[in-house]
Amino acid sequence: MFRFLTAGESHGPCLTMIVEGLPAGLEVKKEIVDADLRRRQGGYGRGGRMKIEKDAIRFLSGVRHGKTLGSPITLQVENLDWVNWEERMSAAPVEAETEPITRVRPGHADFTGSIKYGHDDVRNVIERSSSRETASRVAVGGLCRQFLAQFGISVHSHVLSVAGVGYETSRAMTADAYPEDMWRQVEESPMRCADATLTEKMIARILEAKREGDTCGGVFEVVAFGVPIGLGSFSQWDRRLGTRVSMAMMSIPSVKAMEIGAGFETTRTTGSHVHDVLRHEEQGGWSHLTNNAGGIEGGISNGEPIVVRVGVKPIPTLAHPLPSVDLATNENIDQSRYERSDVCVVPAAGVVGEAMMAIVLAEALLEKFGGDSIEETLRNYRSYLQQ
């Protein structure tokens, strides 16, 4: 059974992750996880916090001499900004009075979290609901990415649009629609977009929003290659692979929509134009002529790339704040509060999407082929492929 937990506040001392269920003997490299953390911190439109933090993991348990032990793995990411928040975020009582935050931001967890948990200081909500928590998930995803690589599975993401600026036509979703060079171009782009012209237009749109004290949302796509036929199940609703991928993507802060494969586009036409024709290859493999299903049929992976497109709303912290309410007085006010923030998080959200896809696939793979060691798991996998 694979599972993980994260803990920590945005301006607390550190973020902590516990990962359980990865088999023993898996070689894990710190630098691969750290590289993913750096990718999450990048992307045009990010705010000042990313200039402070230099995210890197520290293994505290479960790894010895570069290999997993089969026991729970504990990871930690230090918050460098903690030195500026030690008194305000102290776990122990402090003598100095800390002015509470009571003005809530529309679209944020400020309001719902304060009402639900009975807080009179919105800071108690901000610290855990912050997207800073996603660094923990990227770290866990970095471990899962290394596990999946043993089975020839890779996960990538790229940005399709920002505030309406993006690809004008739908992209094909078969494996040959994603040439290897494309991902190099994505990693070199400050927008994580392979199209250089679109990259410039997206940056211009973000700059326009920044001048107006506004923020930008957009759409990113996550693609998983090399996923074998048979992950997931139709036997129960929560075992369907599409269900698990959807929940993972929708758990990312600011995500408000997602589709698998051609998604909503399939609702605008007929079945003969939607369903992917299956073919058996002479050498014994299977393929589909198209990939409108996005690699999942009947809740089970079908061997094609798993493709999901995810919609990210504009983040709710605006330099020109919207009207709101002061929870201390229940009075309507002209402006909510502003806290140091990003203008656009879509490129970074794509990296978080990769991590969540890797986590879901690692869990599904272990569910089907899992053993106590990586060697046993690989034997089970190879036996299945031969069958």
- 313 assigned binding-site residue: yes
> Angle CA(197)–CA(199)–CA(200) in degrees, nearest 5?
70
Burial of 106 (0-12, 13-18, 19+ CB in 10 A): middle
| Dihedral sign (CA 239, 242, 244, 246) | negative
Check whether 350 is labelled as a binding-site residue.
no
> Quick count: other Cβ atoms within 10 Å of Cβ 244?
20
347 annotated as ligand-binding: no
Between the CA of residue 289 and those of 272, 276, 279, what are the distances in Å?
Answer: 13, 6, 7
User: Which residue's structure tokens are 């690989």?
Assistant: 378
The reply, when asked if residue 72 is annotated as ligand binding, is no
120 φ/ψ angles, rounded to the nearest 5 degrees: -100, 5
Partners of 75 in the beta sheet? 17, 59
Contact 161, 233 (CB under 8 A): no
- According to the annotation, is 171 in a ligand binding site? no
Q: Is 314 annotated as a binding residue?
A: yes
Task: Classify the C-alpha dihedral 153-154-155-156 as positive or negative.
Answer: negative
Could you say which DSSP state residue 238 is in?
A: G
Measured torsion, CA atoms of residues 142, 148, 154, 155, in degrees rounded to the nearest 10: -50
373 in a known ligand binding site: no
Q: Of 143, 98, 148, 149, which Cα lies nearest the Cα of 124?
A: 98
Strand partners, 310: 220, 258
| 300 annotated as ligand-binding | no
Binding residues for FMN, by number, are: 128-130, 298, 313-317, 340
Binding residues for NADP(+), by number, are: 40, 46
Binding residues, by number, are: 40, 46, 128-130, 298, 313-317, 340
